[in-house]
Structure 1
Amino acid sequence: MSLVPVLARAMVALALATQACAQEAPELRLELDTGGHLAVIRALSADASGRHVASASEDKTVRVWDLAGAAPPVVLRGYAGPGNDGMVNAVALSPDGRFAAVGGYFGPHHAVDATFGDVRIFDTRTREVVRVLEGHRYVVDSIAYSAERDELAVTGQGGIVMRWKDPFGAAPEALPPLDSQASRVLRVAYAAGGTRVLAATTDYGLRMWSLPEGAEIAPPEAEPLWDIVVSGLAVSPDGARFAVSGSDGRVEIRASADGAVIARLPERPFRADALAFTPDGRLAVGCSYRCAGAHEAEVWTPGATAPDTVYRDHDGAVSAALALPSGAVVTAGGRGTALHVWQPGANAARRVLSGAGTPVTAAGIAPDASWIAWGRADPCPDRPVCPEVLAPLAMRMDLPQGDRGFGPPGPGDTAAALRARLEGDGRTLSFETAPGAGFVGDTMAISGAAKPVRLRRSATDGYYHSAATLAGEEAISGGASGLLLAYGPDGAFAGEFRGHTGDILALAAAPSAGRLLSAAADRTMILWNLATRAEIARFFVAGDQWITWTPQGYFHASPDGDRMVGWRVNRGRDAAARYIRASELKRHLHSPEIVRRAILAGDPAQAARDLRGTDGELAALLTRAPPAFDLRLASEIDAPEGAAVLEITGAGVEEIEAWGYSILVNDRRVPPLPYPDPTGQGRKLYQVPLGPGENAISVTGEDDFGYVAERAAMALGETVARAPEKVGKLYVAVIGVADYPNLPEGCNGGPCDLAYPVQDAVEMLATLAETTGRLHTEMETLVMVSPSRLAGSDRLMQALSAVTPADAVLPPEGRLVEDALTDFLARPGPEDTTIVFVAGHGLNLDEDYYLLPEDAEQRGGEWRTRSLFDWQILQEELGYALGRRILLIDTCHAAGAFNARLEKDAADARIVVFSATAANNTAAERRDLGHGIFTYALLEGLRGKAASGDGVRLLGLADYVHREVLRLSDARQEPFYSLLETSNFLLAQP
């Protein structure tokens, strides 16, 4: 199965007159941005130097890649609406790379009378649209630029070639158009020093004109091309020759002067849309369709009988090709829609430019929809589509059910999964290709019904059937560009599931639960409500990072998962769109509880209304712009030893000061120290300390509205190993709540008292003082534990008194906990380390998480929230604390007490987190250990059982605690960690 670079994704508007009427596009569009393209790449263009390459994709973006650097690509986004509206088919860079001309399907989806062919001129530095070239009415398929003439040619559906002089200047001049007399031109190019214009058409072969007069040239041996689709076109660097390719596998090299045939390659067994001439005159030919599993790009010497070399690293169809002045070739395609930069004759790519994730080719769902499963293997590498072949399932994710929350995605048991069902209830789905069809699998037959039905797809409804399943009385079929349609028993159209943007690759229905799971080439899965056909939630997983989100924008994600999804905010058809990542709105939209309720009830809008009072919060949020600034490492400045200098640009000093921004170096929060600009230009420079080795520097600005903008840089600190030395103070706060006198029936009808939180807290304090305190210059403590447990234990009092005076111990009452922690966490400096240990009961109420202090109360069976300690306060204060922050949590002693939102917030703040439980299990105590299992394992590890070499290091402790908790709990309890952007630092010396 290959992602098909369909030549006719977007049809002439008039051909769609029988379809739905034009509709206004929404101003907001939810999009993944994983660092690369998510759909077929239709065109490539380079600047004159070959350093910058632009790629145009059906995912409605253009990406400009710097081949000489490591920076992420510049992403150009214009207006985009539902369906095809905003799809990009063509791009041409200016010689200096400063501007990009972009064209495609720029009009309302399925509109009858609209303009689709406006060309947007983007400034690639500011990412703004600086002007629009109007005149081409229909969808644009190809754009070419002639440096010799400083002229732009634009063409596509309708067959007219529009031209502009000085297209990237302030006042482009429209030139007389050229009429190909074809219904559609797929490729246009300049040749012979700008004196020729060439056009490859769908129904009139090859067309040629001479410039400047615009006279037609009739190429010899042109008639055989009239009966095929001429799908590929490339011009040699000297402009003297060009190559054309056809849907029948032919590839011809012709003279630019008159179009005469110079050479023909042996007929290729595939369709070659991707052609490019190398500087030495050879021709790169990429397989675009009918590849039979050999997804390759060949390099030919004209006149040869076999290719000189074959590049085989693509794993799917090659949709575009470009040769660079250096001799390298860029080919685009594959299942991951990547750009491969390679040298002819080399065995591997010099560079692969792509994003995270790959198409999801397999889908499975539990009969009760309590979990989903998926896979990514290609079920039929030698065929374009194979809906009757099911790819294997490899991953699983538990969904909320009752008190159970989300489980993390990973390998798991998928044997009970429901898959696509092609036969049942007396009906059978089968697939065939109609005679003369342009694509394999264009017809689905439904047999066994009262009257056999054949459903043939065309340009208006997805081209082919790439996945299908029976679901109750309906048959559901997916096709190209995310078309997912339902048909009744008689084959009549029953409805549409709107959401995907890539080819539908797998389906699985759970009719008894009323759910459908779809998987697509856009790398996502969608869980649907079968009854309403509404999207409930969408899933994206790439390695350790994942995110689940609802159409209303609320999400649940791994620590960095929310960086890979955001909203395109339209600002008009003639303006660039703004892109706001989910991470920038996490203060408002990060809500695992709303996502949980949406999945349980199947109604995400109602879930949002239940908890937020509205399902329109997102639209209100996106009317504002987030803090805008850029960050760079000022490497030209000779920074002080052990430090780096950062420059912040794009924001005023007043804005920066108003944001109250923070700087993280790995896992340490450091103060921004202004650094004088040695050039006297008044640049906003800041000095930050560095640790040894790589330092991940993150600058975060948060405005009063709660928008969070983050920029990152990497700096290298000294790598010479030094003997450990004492650095900074150690701040340790321990909270142990064992007694709940106001809750005699508060926990499942019984008392809430716990046996060991005070013992856990006191022994943790004593152990840290003995093993970690020696690594620091001094130690400050805050102790808040249930006093009755101390009074009855001489051993605990003795252990406590060795570290802190007994009269300094505070009772763990709600208001006191808040005030004492707030004051304590304001003290550490950038070189200090803070450790907070909490043991007791944790409680989820709607979206919020609370610690039950000793004076917690209920009234009428309901919790009095004023008597509880809001965990968010601890989280925020610890996040604001300077230096390294470590949080040890042993609070989940009741089912459902795990709070995914707070765990992620801590990870985002680069707080090192050790938690007693992951999702869907509880923290246990054991009498024979005298502690909670998690705390016991921590203590044993710190005391030496996790030591290696010079002591106990962070990763060694995490590994030991994980194994011990699983062992001591018989695998019923699994701890959770967040160790992002941190080094394997020395934590203790027993």
Structure 2
Amino acid sequence: MLTTLQRALLLAVLLLAALPTLAAEPDPTPILRIEPGMHFAQIKRIDVDAAERFMVSAADDKTARVWDLHTGKLLQVLRPPQGEGHEGKLFAVAISPDGEQVAVAGWDANIYLFQRSSGALLTRLRDLADVINHLAFSPDGSKLAVALGEGGIRLFSTRDWQELARDSDYGGNSYSVDFDAQGRVVSTSYDGQVRLYDAGLKLLHSYKTQGGSRPYFARFSPDGKQVAVGFADSTAVEILAAAGLQPVRRQDTQGIDNGNLGRIAWSQDGRRLTAGGRYEDGNGRPLVVWDKGGAGKRSLWRASQNTVMDIKPLKDGGVVYASADPAIGRLDANGQVVWKQTSGVLDYRDIDVSLGDTGDMVAIPYAYETKKGDVVRGKWEWLVNELQSPKQGTANLKGVRQTAPGLNISEWKNTTHPKLNGQPLPLQDYETSHSLAIDAQGNSFALGADWSLRLYGKDGSLRWQQSVPVAWAVNISADDRWVVAALGDGTIRWYEKASGKERLAFYLHPDEKRWVTWTPEGFYAAAEGAEDLIGYHLNRGADQEAEFVGVEQLRQVFARADLVTKALDDDYPQLAQAALEKAGDVRQILQAGLPPTVEVGGGPQQQLKQRSFDLDVTLHDQGGGIGRVEYRVNGEVVNSAAARPFSPRSPAGQQALRRPFSLRNGDNTIEVVAYSKNDKVASKPVRVQVQVDDPVQREPSLYILSIGVSDYRDQSFALKYAADDAVDFAAELQKHGDMFQKVEPKVLRDKDVTLASIHAAFEEMAAKVQPQDVFVLYLAGHGVVADGRYHYVPQDVVYENSDAIRQQALGEEKLRDWLSLVEAGKRVMVIDTCHAGKSLTTLAALDTPAARGMDDKAAIDRLMQATGTSILAAASSQQQALEGIAEGGQGHGLFTHVLLKGLQGKADLIKDGTVNVGELQAYARDEVPRLSKQQWQYEQFPMFQLNGQDFPLAQVK
């Protein structure tokens, strides 16, 4: 007999067992994700609001997205909590008839209700029985129907989100629920049944389908009199009488003998029936359209290259659809494209990866679909250690090896049962293998599948396994160090063959221009305009929407092209660890708190009759504290110290700042970014457009700060021409400055070049320069790269250790801050520097001139981003480039020599008597490599950034 205590304990256990299972809190560890502005994995469902303003979509990439139905523009990304593997994949989405709420659900058996406009998570219906395949709001918005993988269907009230009814007596997965105008519900199940319910979910009728054993979609006709059924295992389409689910007819599908037509939609007037699915007609996957209420002539509307996943009818007789490419599109009543959004990733299916012997050179064939529905095929080639495509092609690359003596690997291509010497290689349930690569010695092989990448020994032993989003292609480098895989998320990833650890990732956008590459530590490099393509997903709890922090918000610390180019080097782990010790771990940084949000007073657009005005900014702490605030005018950083608190009684966690601005005439953009207290994470920028129409005109003046050092205190750094170059460059600009109201140069050379004197010169310029003026900064001498950042070396620096250089040189941060003091409307920085002696190259752990050149370019690129200033730069790893080129007895550094010639008239490419910054850039781009090859048998390539509109620097005869 049980004691009283035992009875109490048993009762407690039984009560706990009866409670709904609480979902575990999602992992707060930041997850690196790509964000191409479009889905990059299979879209499962779409929906449209009653007024046809918005379309919503949900996909395996774990996001739901809100689109402008008229234009196809992305309006909002909805981010429920997610994890690694399948956790967070979205299979279902529905928008309330009034367009205000969006329900999403999928793998983790929760329904998340979002506010459509803000992306805020309003509530969560938790712990349903199984994965959720479909959601549907009733026409009046009072109910939400749910189709489950296992467990049938459920009905919820949208007033309080309480469950109203359920039917769990299903013998298979349910993929479809639909309401008619009366509130009746029809559902499908893989048990072969279509079920009809009244508005309270009382079962009225069921029908055992004849057209296939797996009914997928069932849809009421607009008048509620018929139900159309499509199948996952058949191209049949059945029409039933809704009253008793009695068969009426089958659609004409003669000749449609492959795939399926599982997705169904009636036109809103009932005159057409549209179906799609895996059916392929030789030109892709079309929509099959029948007129006369579905009983008439059949036609095909061109849709997509992959499986049609969902179809929604529109009032104009057209449709919107989604496909597995992924793609979404809108067609008009004649089947013509209104708009289309194609996949955010390149298609790497059925391709081979070719590799250089050491894995640092790769060639990947790809395909992508255009908005017109055409398929473009190409191949991109990439050099990891140069962050560019190889100039001479990739003739020495090796293709994938898929046969070897003693290794009979069979049935691995697109099957669920690959084998080694006749023995199964087990995969996950329902997983399909797609790719195979055998190493050069025949001792091991890599197998890529839907959700995993595996390395096996020749005896079939599993050496390691990585979770991946479909490994479409794989190869092993000839030196046996790397397994390289082309994945379904559009990335190429390098894994250490010995351990399976990821070392590097690369993503190329389908526009074939923007790319970004990164390491697991978070260090990254990106093409211009590509930083917003990746970022970190941050779970903030099971009942809050997740946050997405773009890598551009971490640029201050993690934009390290110098490290990324060394990612495949043997010593990279040590370099990365050393960098992390200074920078901090990106995941710890983000978990410590987000940067403040920025709120700007006065609205996003302002029109002024005067140049001067005040801009008010309110900062809201998001857990990471409030640190530095950065202001940019037309892309250029301006002095943040000019901002002052204007509301001393701001609530806790807020800071109010007012900053005066004096702007040039015309259109201006002011951008405000706030940093966390540790200065490592930036907010998303807030922009204000300001149009100034001041009747008082003022001619611009030209101010020049020209700095050059030849006679270094440390004589091992001595140069020939740098100091004279500074003098001559300023003189040449002054000579050709007739277009300016005045030209005022300031030259610092040799012993005059100290940090203190440079700072004083910037302050002197700041007191004189006005918004209409042009400011030119010229730097010649030695430069060095430390921590991925550019440092200009003053005359009095003595190299004792790397910390001395960081403290005594003019580094990126100081240069940014001092340059921001000079609020000229147009600024140009000219850099003609080389490495400061052989001993200093150890700062960046550089081994070869080519590597030093890459570090220089990466550091200059960082400097461009940090200051927003137009830059002409030739930071060379070859000292002879600065030591120069002599002409007529007068010697100059090569780059300065070319610029002087350009200012004298050679760069007047359009022959209008002026030399613009853009013309000077174009002239130097051609002339510098030509002369360097002629003089020293190597090509030096300058770097350029033109911020904003082009403008003149010199007037020539």
Deviations 1:64-88 (A, max 9, x none): 1123568642111121111001111
Partner of 1:622: 590
Deviation of residue 496 (structure 1)?
0.9
Which residue among 278, 298, 301 is the counterpart of 1:307?
Answer: 298
5 Å-filtered alignment, 1:505-904, equals: 505-542=472-509, 543-601=512-570, 604=573, 606-613=574-581, 617-623=585-591, 624-629=593-598, 634=603, 640=609, 651=620, 659-665=628-634, 698-706=671-679, 707-711=681-685, 727-744=699-716, 752-771=717-736, 773-786=737-750, 811-821=752-762, 824=765, 828-859=769-800, 866-879=807-820, 881-883=822-824, 884-892=826-834, 895=849, 896=852, 898-904=856-862
**Change beyond 3 A, Cα 1:514–1:651:** same
2:40 and 2:879 map into 1 onto residues whose CA distance is 36
1:549 and 1:45 map into 2 onto residues whose CA distance is 35
Unaligned runs of 5+ in 2: 1-23, 370-375, 647-655, 838-848
Deviations 1:860-896 (A, max 9, x none): 9997655543343213432564232221111135831
Partner of 1:803: none
Give yes or no for the alignment of 1:256 onto 2:236: no
Partner of 2:19: none
Match for 1:742: what amino acid?
Answer: D
Give yes or no for the alignment of 1:936 onto 2:897: yes
Deviation of residue 935 (structure 1)?
1.9
Deviation of residue 756 (structure 1)?
2.2
Q: Is the 8 A contact 1:737 1:785 kept in 2?
A: yes
Which residue among 206, 210, 229 is the counterpart of 1:224?
Answer: 210
Partner of 1:321: 311
Normalised to the residue count of structure 2, the TM-score between the two structures is 0.82
Q: Is the 8 A contact 1:458 1:464 kept in 2?
A: no
Partner of 1:680: none
1:876 and 1:372 map into 2 onto residues whose CA distance is 40
Partner of 1:5: none
Deviations 1:179-226 (A, max 9, x none): 35122112222124312x22222233423222225124123xx3425x
Q: Is the 8 A contact 1:536 1:602 kept in 2?
A: no
Q: Secondary structure at the match of 1:84?
A: coil
**Change beyond 3 A, Cα 1:232–1:726:** same
Deviation of residue 731 (structure 1)?
2.4
Match for 1:890: what amino acid?
Answer: D
Partner of 2:872: 914
Match for 2:198: what amino acid?
Answer: S
1:826 and 1:739 map into 2 onto residues whose CA distance is 30
Partner of 2:170: 181
Q: Secondary structure at the match of 2:886?
A: coil
Deviations 1:764-785 (A, max 9, x none): 21222233x3343333333122
Deviations 1:46-77 (A, max 9, x none): 22211111110111111111235686421111
Match for 2:799: what amino acid?
Answer: Q
**Change beyond 3 A, Cα 1:612–1:470:** closer
Deviations 1:241-263 (A, max 9, x none): 44322122222333433333444
**Change beyond 3 A, Cα 1:631–1:493:** farther
Q: Secondary structure at the match of 1:622?
A: helix
Q: Quick check: 482-491 or 663-672, which moved more?
A: 663-672
1:554 and 1:354 map into 2 onto residues whose CA distance is 29
1:960 and 1:100 map into 2 onto residues whose CA distance is 55
Deviations 1:265-291 (A, max 9, x none): 333333234433333432333343666
Deviations 1:441-483 (A, max 9, x none): 334344xxxx4344465635x3232555546522212222x42
1:638 and 1:811 map into 2 onto residues whose CA distance is 45
**Change beyond 3 A, Cα 1:637–1:58:** same
Q: Is the 8 A contact 2:625 2:677 kept in 1?
A: no
Q: Is the 8 A contact 1:647 1:686 kept in 2?
A: yes
**Change beyond 3 A, Cα 1:87–1:357:** closer
Give yes or no for the alignment of 1:969 onto 2:929: no
Q: Is the 8 A contact 1:921 1:974 kept in 2?
A: no
Q: Is the 8 A contact 1:189 1:234 kept in 2?
A: yes
**Change beyond 3 A, Cα 1:468–1:953:** same
Identity %: 23
Match for 2:355: what amino acid?
Answer: I
Match for 1:506: what amino acid?
Answer: A
Deviation of residue 688 (structure 1)?
7.9
Deviation of residue 630 (structure 1)?
5.8
Q: Is the 8 A contact 2:632 2:671 kept in 1?
A: yes
Partner of 1:351: 339
1:91 and 1:919 map into 2 onto residues whose CA distance is 55
Q: Is the 8 A contact 1:395 1:410 kept in 2?
A: no
Q: Is the 8 A contact 1:922 1:973 kept in 2?
A: no
1:316 and 1:644 map into 2 onto residues whose CA distance is 55
Normalised to the residue count of structure 1, the TM-score between the two structures is 0.80
Deviation of residue 341 (structure 1)?
2.0
Give yes or no for the alignment of 1:194 onto 2:183: yes
5 Å-filtered alignment, 1:936-955, equals: 936-947=897-908, 948=910, 949=912, 951-955=914-918
Partner of 1:136: 128
Deviations 1:896-949 (A, max 9, x none): 151514423423542212111589999455433432222222222222222223
Q: Quick check: 315-324 or 663-672, which moved more?
A: 663-672
Q: Quick check: 637-646 or 841-850, which moved more?
A: 637-646
1:644 and 1:310 map into 2 onto residues whose CA distance is 56
**Change beyond 3 A, Cα 1:44–1:303:** closer
Q: Quick check: 314-323 or 180-189, which moved more?
A: 314-323
Match for 2:137: what amino acid?
Answer: Y
Deviations 1:463-518 (A, max 9, x none): 232555546522212222x42122332334332123x33x2222221151511221
**Change beyond 3 A, Cα 1:519–1:741:** same
Q: Is the 8 A contact 1:56 1:62 kept in 2?
A: yes
Partner of 2:885: 927
1:408 and 1:921 map into 2 onto residues whose CA distance is 24
Q: Is the 8 A contact 2:482 2:495 kept in 1?
A: yes
Q: How many residues align?
A: 879
Which residue among 203, 206, 210 is the counterpart of 1:215?
Answer: 203
Q: Is the 8 A contact 2:714 2:797 kept in 1?
A: yes
Match for 2:476: what amino acid?
Answer: A
Unaligned runs of 5+ in 1: 1-21, 107-116, 380-390, 401-405, 434-439, 677-682, 745-751, 787-809
Q: Is the 8 A contact 1:210 1:217 kept in 2?
A: no
Give yes or no for the alignment of 1:479 onto 2:467: no
Q: Is the 8 A contact 1:849 1:899 kept in 2?
A: no
Q: Is the 8 A contact 2:635 2:869 kept in 1?
A: no
